[in-house]
Structures are given as structure tokens and as C-alpha cells.
Amino acid sequence: MKLVTCCSFKGGAGKTTALMGLCSALAAGAKTVALLEADENRPLIRWRENALANESWDEQCDVFVADEMELLEQAYEEAESRGFDYALADTHGGSSELNNTIIASSDFLIVPTMLTPLDMDEALATYRYIIELLMGENLSVPTAVLRQRVPVGRMTVSQKSVMDMLSALPLFDPSMHERDAYAAMKERGMLHMTLQHMLANPAMRLHQRNHQAAMEELGQMRNFVEHALEG
């Protein structure tokens, strides 16, 4: 089982959304996914409830509450013994023993950031924190910054300069754009299943294209992660 974690010091950086998207893309690729809920607000538990109500939860995936050390250990062990291909951990903002343990145990780390100067500063601080933590433990875990909520249309001058500055860091090649399809995932459920329902319903034609573009983007993210984990 490979553990992939989203972390950022800043709240609202797009951690949970990136994780939901990656989960959907992995499940669409026939992978089994254990979601480790390390955020006490429990957005993933709510996600599953909403998804089940919309028949948009993929049964190859399960959510494990892991917002305390003991629960995290139990969740990880259970997920491993059930043979999940991937565990995806959603952390809360800031530093804590729980976050440190998850970071140090991960096989791949994702630091999502939006393209404002403030968000970039926080992403740099998170990145530096991760590197120092790993060096202190003599570990090396591939870590990539994910540009989140990139405008689909033209970027502002400020957004462009943040893009340029971020390119000094190891980057996720594909980025996530600002899309209604992503914002709606927490209410609707897994994107690949929502898309399947849409394809079966002619009245939803207009929404299909947006969802298809989002799903393609998530497929690229999944390929990037799978490739990084193979290498």
C-alpha cells in the first residue's frame, strides 16, 4: 500500500479537493483507495455520506477516521491488512505530531497552493517544513507542489509571476484548474461516477464537458503520482 498525503500550513489551499480528485481518478483506474481522515473536521466522512446519497461512491474506496495517533495507527494497519492499493491522507493545517508522523510515513507528498503571493509564501513554508522534518529523520520522500485553482482563462500578471516563482520547486506537472466540477465534488461525490450519471442523462449534456475536462486533468494527476511511485 502506497501512502500519498496532501499537506499545507494554510487552510483552504485545496488539500481535500485535490485528494478527492485523486481518489476518484485512482478508483476510475480500478485501484482500491483507503482515505485516512486526519482532519478533525471530517470532510471525507461527509463526502462519503453525500456521495452515497447520490449513488456516487465507489465501493473500492473506504474512509478511516485517523485524527488521533492511535486511530491513525489502527486505520493504517487495517487498510494495509485489507490490501488497499493506496492510502490517501488528508491532513489538517499547521504542524502537529500527527501531521509529522503522516508526513514521515508517506511515499509521496503533495503541497497544494493557489496562485496568490500569500498562498505561495505558505506553500514555501510548508515545503521547507517538510524538507527539514525529513532531513531530521534521515528520510527522503518525493514531494511536489500542486498548483490548485489555476484560472481556465487568462492569468493575471500576479498569478503569472507566482507561477514563475513556483517553478523553482519540484512541481506537479499537471495542475488543477478552477472548475465547478471540483467545487461540487464534496456535495455530489466521486467525479468519475457523477460523470457516468451525466452521460446516462441527456438533460445533463451541458455539464458533461466541464466534468470530462476535470476528469482528464485528474487522470493526468494520477499518472504523475503512479509514475513517481514507480520510479
Which residues lie near ligand ATP (CB under 6 A)?
8, 11-17, 39, 93, 148-149, 176, 178-179, 182-183, 186
**Residue of minimal Cβ distance to Mg ion:** 16
Nearer to ligand ATP, 68 or 203 (CB): 68
Nearer to ligand ATP, 80 or 129 (CB): 129
Rounded Cα gap, residues 27 and 21, in angstroms = 10
- Tell me how far, at minimum, the Cβ of 65 lies from Mg ion, in Å: 14
Residue 11 site contact among ligand ATP, Mg ion, none (CB < 5 to 8 Å, cut-off depends on kind): ligand ATP
Cell numbers found for residue 61: 474506496
- Tell me how far, at minimum, the Cβ of 134 lies from ligand ATP, in Å: 21
16 touches Mg ion by CB under 5 A: yes
15 touches Mg ion by CB under 5 A: yes
* Cβ contact 62:31 at 8 Å: no
Cross-strand pairs, 34: 62, 87
Rounded Cα gap, residues 8 and 94, in angstroms = 7
- Tell me how far, at minimum, the Cβ of 41 lies from ligand ATP, in Å: 7
Label residue 154 left, alpha or beta by phi (over 0 means left) and psi (-120 to 50 means alpha).
beta
Nearer to ligand ATP, 11 or 136 (CB): 11
* Cβ contact 224:89 at 8 Å: no
* Helix residue ranges per DSSP H, 145-204: 157-166, 180-183, 185-188, 191-199
Helix (H) or strand (E) holding 111: strand 108-113
- Tell me how far, at minimum, the Cβ of 83 lies from ligand ATP, in Å: 28
Cross-strand pairs, 118: none
Residue 117 site contact among Mg ion, ligand ATP, none (CB < 5 to 8 Å, cut-off depends on kind): none
Kind of pairing, strands 143-147 and 108-113?
Answer: parallel
- Tell me how far, at minimum, the Cβ of 47 lies from ligand ATP, in Å: 10
Residues that bind Mg ion (CB under 5 A): 15-16
